[in-house]
Structure 1
Amino acid sequence: MAQVAYVDSMLREYLIFRGYSNTLKALDVEQRNEKDQHFRAERLIEHFNAAVQASDLKALRNLWLHLDNYLFSKLDHNYAVAVKKLENNLLKYYLVTAYSNNKSDKISEFFKKLSSELQQQNEWKDWFYFSFCKNAEESPTFALYFTKQWQDTLLLSLRNFLTTVYQCLPQPSFVRAEQEAAHMQRLQDENTRLRARLQQLQQEQQQQQSSSAASSQNLSSGEASSSRRRQQQSLNDILPFDISPPGHIVDDFCIIASEANIVGQASDAQARGLKLLIRNIGNAGSPVLTRKDNVGDKSLSSSKRRSGSVGRSWI
């Protein structure tokens, strides 16, 4: 893989800079002996098998704890049962191998260090009798674990499990340094684009608000002008009365003056008629007075006085 080769070159450069000549030689040997440039599960199986054959409990436990912390802990919880079963079988393989090599002290050391941890598990209850059992390879409880078939099956299952896990796990952060840098650059570019887009949207929103305010003002002014136009139109729609215009132009004041003269002439004629009536009443030859000859002098004189007073008041 290109990333692994790039990291190898960086590591070599660092070792040369620091002067780690022995580490550089060991790296060269490891790289020459490795057939391909990626991890192989057989290497771990070799380390496990070497620790078991040498009865090195510390090396066995440290390697397993390292894998558990940095590899198995990243798996789904469904694999927890399989991981625990492989660990227990590997420890049982260690005890069986120590018993076959007549290393009873290693068996006692095993239970002394791990008894507090193993006594919590039911499948280890019979194994606390293992250090006191004679001819354990013939015991029905432990005979299965001494067979070569079981031991080979255990190592094969462990190798397949490690191979599957390493294929599914992501690459280490040290290997993915260049990819992480490129990913961070892409995220920064995307963040810049999003900020520019947000600023553009804010400007567009402000423009829309200003345009809506202007349109509302135009609408209000348009409504006022339209209302004025409607009023003018309503006034224009009124039809005048069908009155024929006069033949000639006459001044209104002239009409009023002529009407006043006519009224004055009528009143003068009436006054003259009343005066003539009063005069006729005062004459002796009046037909009204001849009808009153039989009336007494007193009544005649009183009627004359009344008539004379009335005539004088009108005159």
Structure 2
Amino acid sequence: MAQVAFLDTLLREYLVFRGFSSTLKALDLEQRTEKDQHFRAERILEQFTLAIQSYDLQALRSLWIHLDNNLFSKLEHTYAQAVKKLENSLLKYYLVTAYSNNKLDKISEFFTKLAGELQQQSEWKDWFYFPFCKNAEESPTFALFFTRHWQDTLLLSLRNFLTTVYQCLPQPTFVRAEQEATHMHRLNEDNVGLRSRLLHMQQELHQQQQQPQQQSVSGSAQNLSGGEASTRRRSAYRHQQSLNDILPFDISPPGHIVDDFCIIASEANSISQASDAQARGLKLLIRNIGSGNSPVLGRKDNQGGGNGGGSSKRRSGSVGRSWI
């Protein structure tokens, strides 16, 4: 892994700068003896085994707390019970190893430091009797933990668990430093590009919103200017024109120019004349009837004188009926 080799170089440079010569020597030694560049769960398992065999309770607890805070706490809640069971098994393995090597002082130290924490757990209730138990390897309560099978099963389970956890966990932040820096730089570039695009789109939208307003203003201004110009042209043309320049409309006159009122008046005159003539004729007729010189009566009288008086009376009566 080129990334790990680059970080090892940076770490060596930092140790030289700080003057940590012992740490630098230990780093060089471990790098020379390292067979696999990848992290292996056997390394953590070896540290646990070394802390138990050396009766270093502080190192055992510190290593487990570190793993619990940085690795095990990131697991799902369903693994919490398995993690707690492995922790208690390691502590029991520590006690069994100390008892097998007759390290009673380490057992007393163990309960002195962890009694307040362990007494709240039900599975440790019988273990408080462990420091006072004689031949604990033969006791039904503790005999199982002294067997080789249980101890090997514990170490194998812990190794498998650590292997599975480290395969699922992401790389440490120190290893991902360069990747994180590259990723942040790319995100910054993307943000700058998106901001520029957003600003450009806002400017285009603003221009699109202003164009109709400008067109309407320009159109109204053109209309006003056109209206003023046409008004000026009309006024100028009006002042320059004279009556001689005005041409009449080419409208053909009607065929007969007759006044309707004249027709009505003429009709009224003809009717009045006819009625006057008729009235004069009637008056003349009445006057002639009333007088003795009526031509009609004269003919009647002449005829009555030759034919008799009875016939003259009948004829005059008939004439009178006819007139009525």
Scaled by the length of structure 2, what TM-score is found?
0.68
What do the CA deviations read for 1:77-101 (whole angstroms, capped 9, x no partner)? 1211111111111111111111112
Unaligned runs of 5+ in 1: 215-247, 292-315
How do 1:1-315 residues align onto structure 2 when only pairs under 5 Å count? 1-192=1-192, 194-195=194-195, 250-253=255-258, 257=262, 260-283=265-288, 284=291, 285-286=293-294
Contact 1:281 1:288 (8 Å CA) reproduced:
no
What residue in structure 2 maps to residue 309 of structure 1? Answer: none
Question: How far is 1:254 from its partner?
Answer: 5.1
Once the 2 structures are TM-superposed, how far is the Cα of residue 129 of structure 1 from its aligned partner? 1.2
C-alpha deviation, 1:287, in angstroms: 7.9
Contact 1:57 1:110 in 2 (8 A): yes
In structure 2, what residue type is equivalent to 1:4? V
Secondary structure in 2 matching 1:171: coil
Partner of 1:236: none
Q: Could you list the per-position Cα deviations for residues 185-224 of structure 1 after superposition, in whole angstroms to 9, with x for gaps in the alignment?
A: 343344455556656776569959988xx9xxxxxxxxxx
Q: 1:250 to 1:113 in 2, by over 3 A?
A: same
Partners of 2:18 and 2:296 in 1: how far apart? 170
Q: CA deviation at 1:65?
A: 0.8
> Is there any run of 5+ residues in structure 2 with no aligned partner, and where?
216-252, 301-324
The letter for the 1-side match of 2:98 is: A
The 1-side partners of 2:180 and 2:296 are apart by 148
Q: Which residue of 2 aligns with 1:241?
A: none
Q: State how far apart, in whole Å, the 1-side matches of 2:198 and 2:272 are.
A: 99
Which has the higher mean CA deviation after the structures are superposed, 11-20 or 170-179?
11-20
1:49-76 CA-partner distances (Å, limit 9, x unpaired): 2221221211111111111111111111
The CA RMSD over aligned residues, in Å, is: 3.3
Equivalent residues, number:
256
Q: Which amino acid aligns with 1:261?
A: S
Change (3 A) 1:252 1:29: same
- TM-score w.r.t. structure 1 length? 0.70
* Alpha-carbon distance, 1:132 to partner: 0.8
Cα distance in structure 2, aligned partners of 1:66 and 1:255: 127
SS at match of 1:253: coil
The 10-residue stretch of structure 1 (61-70 or 179-188) with the greater mean CA deviation from structure 2:
179-188
Alignment correspondent of 2:234: none
> CA, structure 1 residues 258+56, in 2 after alignment: closer, same or farther (shift >3 Å)?
closer
Displacement of 1:123: 1.8
